């Protein structure tokens, strides 16, 4: 008797069963199932949007001219206008940090260009540091009076992300534990569901990898550059359970 057709039929049935099982694993978020040692590995996902709890806002302003004293005075006047504006917005002196003025002689540089239209370039900075993030966001949208007064506000060159306030989440540890707990619950629910459908019981936890919590802007894309007041936290944790 020729057993070749029977062998091919059995192989085809095993392949089909494997494909069905693979599709099930992908559909349920199951990462790995090992029959040999009766264990299952799953991933737990957790996401949460949280509000920033601290803001840093650097107001940078510039002046140029051919007389050192005139540039320095213009910068000092601009600095006074900026501080006055911030106080009018409700910020206390303890929240306002005034940086020293800087005036550079462009002709004195080693690689100075002879066609420089202005000899002196000056910059001044006033930094707001506060936990009142809503007040910073509102003030950043109300700078028109400064511009109308002739203050030449420029981008934030003290850090990444361009102009505008930088928002931080200093209470990260307060939200870390609940987020990891949610990822753990999510993974266990998947493992329990698989065990029930496989006719088994979920055993003890064999291995766990809590993963890394990533922080992005409110859109959930890329990395957090500090420009978004709302932060999205995301973690993927991996767990391996025994099956009985």
Cβ neighbours of residue 86 under 8 Å, at least 6 residues apart? 59, 96, 126, 128, 139
Q: Final residue of a domain: which of 167, 187, 207?
A: 167
The structure tokens 């707990």 sit at: 181
Distance CA 98, CA 106 (A): 24
Residue 139 lies in a domain: yes
Residue 5 lies in a domain: no
pLDDT at 11 exceeding the cut of 60: no
Write the CATH number for 188. Answer: 3.30.110.170
Mean pLDDT of 167-190: 95
224 vs 20, higher pLDDT? 224
% of the chain residues with pLDDT over 90: 70
Q: Are residues 150 and 86 in the same domain?
A: yes
Q: Are residues 148 and 239 in the same domain?
A: no
pLDDT at 190 exceeding the cut of 60: yes
Query: What is the chain's mean pLDDT, rounded?
Result: 86
Give pTM, 2 decimals.
0.76
pLDDT at 21 exceeding the cut of 60: no
Q: Are residues 139 and 190 in the same domain?
A: no
Helix (H, G, I), strand (E, B) or coil at 119: coil
Provide the CA 90 distance to its chain's centre, in angstroms. 28
Domain encompassing residue 224: 26-51+171-243
- Residue 220: predicted pLDDT: 76
pLDDT at 175 exceeding the cut of 50: yes
- Residue 228: predicted pLDDT: 93
Q: Are residues 146 and 201 in the same domain?
A: no
Q: Final residue of a domain: which of 143, 167, 191?
A: 167
Distance CA 116, CA 139 (A): 36
pLDDT at 181 exceeding the cut of 60: yes
Residue 4 lies in a domain: no
Q: Are residues 156 and 63 in the same domain?
A: yes
Q: Are residues 59 and 130 in the same domain?
A: yes
Residue 99 lies in a domain: yes
Write the CATH number for 146. Answer: 3.30.70.2970
Q: Are residues 59 and 159 in the same domain?
A: yes
pLDDT at 227 exceeding the cut of 60: yes
Q: Are residues 60 and 139 in the same domain?
A: yes
Q: Are residues 62 and 149 in the same domain?
A: yes
Residue 82 lies in a domain: yes
Q: Are residues 102 and 193 in the same domain?
A: no
Query: 109-166 pLDDT, tens per residue?
Result: 777 666 778 999 999 999 999 999 999 999 999 999 999 999 999 876 554 445 799 9
Residue 1 lies in a domain: no
Domain count, the chain: 2
pLDDT at 17 exceeding the cut of 50: no
Q: Final residue of a domain: which of 136, 167, 198?
A: 167
Q: Are residues 105 and 163 in the same domain?
A: yes
* Region at 52 (left for phi over 0; alpha for psi -120 to 50; beta for the rest): beta
Q: Are residues 87 and 152 in the same domain?
A: yes
Query: 69-105 pLDDT, tens per residue?
Result: 999 999 999 999 999 999 999 999 999 999 999 999 9
């Amino acid at each position: 008797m020729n057993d070749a057709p029977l062998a091919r039929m059995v192989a085809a049935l095993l392949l089909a069963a494997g494909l069905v099982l693979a599709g099930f694993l992908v559909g349920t978020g199951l990462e790995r199932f090992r029959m040999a040692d009766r264990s299952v590995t799953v991933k737990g996902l957790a996401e949460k949007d949280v509000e920033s709890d601290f803001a840093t806002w650097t107001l940078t302003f510039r002046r140029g001219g051919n007389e050192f004293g005139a540039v320095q005075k213009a910068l000092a006047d601009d600095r006074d206008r900026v501080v006055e504006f911030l106080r009018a917005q409700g910020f206390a002196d303890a929240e306002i940090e005034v940086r020293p003025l800087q005036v550079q002689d462009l002709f004195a540089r080693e690689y100075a260009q002879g066609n420089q239209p202005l000899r002196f370039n000056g910059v001044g900075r006033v930094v707001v540091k506060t936990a009142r993030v809503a007040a910073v966001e509102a003030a950043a949208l109300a700078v028109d009076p400064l511009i109308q007064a002739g203050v030449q506000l420029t981008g934030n060159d003290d850090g990444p992300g361009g102009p505008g306030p930088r928002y931080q989440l200093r209470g990260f540890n307060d939200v870390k534990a609940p987020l990891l707990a949610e990822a753990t619950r999510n993974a266990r629910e998947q493992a329990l569901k698989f065990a029930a459908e496989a006719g088994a019981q979920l055993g003890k936890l064999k291995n766990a990898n809590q993963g890394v919590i990533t922080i992005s802007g409110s859109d959930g894309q890329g990395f957090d550059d500090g420009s978004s007041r709302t932060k999205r936290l995301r973690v993927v944790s991996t767990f391996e359970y025994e099956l009985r």
